[in-house]
Structure 1
Amino acid sequence: MPMRCPGLYCGRTYLESGILSECGSCPRGFRRNDATFICEPCNDNPTLYDWLYLGFMALLPLVLHWFFIDMVAMRRSFNKDVLILHFSALLEIVLACILTLLTMDPIGLFQIRSCNVRHLSDWYTLLHNPKPNYDKTVHCTQEAVYPLYTIVLVFYAYSVVIMLLFRPWICRKCLPRQSKMSIYAALYFFPILAVLQALIGGLLC
């Protein structure tokens, strides 16, 4: 039986030679088995709360898109141009969701394999690097909640890229003076959302 590893998240992996490595962080998509201290693949299915969390994080930028489109349009009622911009934002978010799911493991499938969340500390492994005997710190920072942490950041990245590819062309046709400001607004709120995901994602899930 392998020797114990310090801390909550440090584990061992099998090297090419077949022997176990020193205690350290598990690779992405793996998590320590608390009984054997060996890093094992994440093969759980996301729970209902996981899907609700991901849905909320996907709807949040869509609502912000629509809010800023309405704000810069300065129209009291909907018209054709505003509706086209709203539909463009919806299409961007849907495409970003599809691309995110297809590029996550397993690649090419509308499935997600995950490591279920056990404790709030799972979101903040950076704060739980052990220091055995108050000597050298063992760095075991990893994505223990795989893929809930990074999938949202990947989704935001896709959203920005898709928006920059399509929205400027639509803005030229629909409210060319005001609508471009909705793009600038998104370039501000997406980084803010990414920081919030990094800092308080565990409190939201």
Structure 2
Amino acid sequence: MYTSLERCPGTYCGRTLLDNNGTWSECGSCARGSRVNEYFACAECQDELPLYSWLYLGFMTMLPFMLHCFFIDLDAKDRKFSRKQLTLTACALFEVIISALLSVLVMEPQWEFRLHSCHVRKFNDWYTLFYNPNPNYQQRLYCTQEAVYPLQTIVLVFYFMCLVTMFMIRPIIVSIMKIRGRTPIYSALYFLPLLTFIHALGGGLIYFSFPYLSIAIAMISNAIHYSLKLDQSYKALIRSSFELKNLVIIASHWILLAYGIVSLGHHTALLAFVPFPSVFYILTVRCTDPAEFREVENRVN
């Protein structure tokens, strides 16, 4: 059936079957949920989503939750977990989980916890807008489409769901528990659109680099967490690590680091290095503490 089709210009232009009589459309963009195949025909995306793509979606799911936690903690300014922090953090986690589940359910196949997809073959698949052909340098043929279905739209739907669930759940919980939680909500009104903008522009870059981003974010945030401690001695850092709030923060860093290592697909033995950034900071803090250099400078003077 496909062998009689003429070649379409460009990489992403294809023909759509119009009826059962074998009538095909002119070359153009494929409908949502389909992609041009090797015969230049638009074929539905029926492949199961690969593990790497699921891990990518998991990373995109963690981003709003981590930002929620950051702004909740920033607003609290308490050394220990307060009732307000625990409530708002649990609420944010519930909102993100509900949004993620709803996002999967509304995509094809609908109301099932699985996704039909078109596999990502190369980096260009994320930016079909820049590959609209211009046959014979005359009229441009617009074939922009979601060649990586559903990895672009499902993330956008997820961020929208996060906004909706936050407005539906957070005010009710805040009023029932009688706590102040407006500032984290206002912060989300900024970072959720920002995440949407970043995904729309750099979704392909994030897709191919999120394991490294996970590792980098975990290591940098771990170093920042320890550097904010006033007492930089060994005993103080170790003692503070076992406080409930710090223990949760450090555990989240370790989980994110382990997530990045698993996403790289290397040997699972590398997971043994997950505690290494924390241990390395505690062991080497005396070599980097500015107080040590000030003492040496005072002795010289």
TM above 0.5, one fold?
A: yes
Residue 205 of structure 2: aligned partner: 203
Long gaps (5+) in structure 1: none
Distance (whole Å) between structure 1 residues aligned to residue 84 and residue 178 of structure 2: 5
Cα pair distance change 1:60/1:54, threshold 3 Å: same
Greater fraction helix: 2
Are positions 1:42 and 2:45 aligned together? yes
- Alignment partner of 2:128 out of 125, 128, 146: 125
Give the letter for the 1:23 counterpart.
C
**Deviations 1:117-157, CA, capped at 9 Å, x for gaps:** 00100000001000001110000000000000000000011
Residue 55 of structure 2: aligned partner: 52
Answer yes or no: is the 8 Å Cα contact 1:25–1:140 preserved in 2. Answer: yes
How much does 1:38 deviate?
0.5
- Alignment partner of 1:104 out of 107, 124, 130: 107
Q: How many matched pairs?
A: 202
Distance (whole Å) between structure 2 residues aligned to residue 46 and residue 14 of structure 1: 25
Residue 27 of structure 1: aligned partner: 31
Long gaps (5+) in structure 2: 208-301
Residue 174 of structure 2: aligned partner: 171
TM-score, normalising length from structure 1?
Answer: 0.96
Answer yes or no: is the 8 Å Cα contact 1:143–1:149 preserved in 2. Answer: yes
Residue 116 of structure 1: aligned partner: 119
Are positions 1:180 and 2:197 aligned together? no
Distance (whole Å) between structure 2 residues aligned to residue 54 and residue 174 of structure 1: 34
Answer yes or no: is the 8 Å Cα contact 1:11–1:37 preserved in 2. Answer: yes
How much does 1:174 deviate?
4.5
Cα pair distance change 1:67/1:174, threshold 3 Å: farther
Instruction: Say which structure, 1 or 2, has more relative contact order (CA 8 Å, 6+ apart).
Output: 1
Aligned to 2:48, the other structure's residue is in SS state coil
Give the letter for the 2:103 counterpart.
T
Give the letter for the 1:187 counterpart.
L
Give the letter for the 1:145 counterpart.
V
Aligned to 2:78, the other structure's residue is in SS state coil
Residue 85 of structure 1: aligned partner: 88
Distance (whole Å) between structure 2 residues aligned to residue 44 and residue 102 of structure 1: 17
Are positions 1:142 and 2:142 aligned together? no
Are positions 1:152 and 2:155 aligned together? yes
Aligned to 1:85, the other structure's residue is in SS state helix
TM-score, normalising length from structure 2?
Answer: 0.66
Give the letter for the 1:22 counterpart.
E
Larger radius of gyration: 2
How much does 1:161 deviate?
0.1
**Deviations 1:12-44, CA, capped at 9 Å, x for gaps:** 00113641000000000101012x111001111
Aligned CA-pair RMSD: 1.0
Residue 8 of structure 1: aligned partner: 11
Residue 161 of structure 1: aligned partner: 164
- Deviating beyond 6 angstroms after TM superposition, the runs of 4 or more aligned structure 1 residues are none
How much does 1:76 deviate?
1.7
How much does 1:80 deviate?
1.6
Distance (whole Å) between structure 2 residues aligned to residue 182 and residue 131 of structure 1: 48
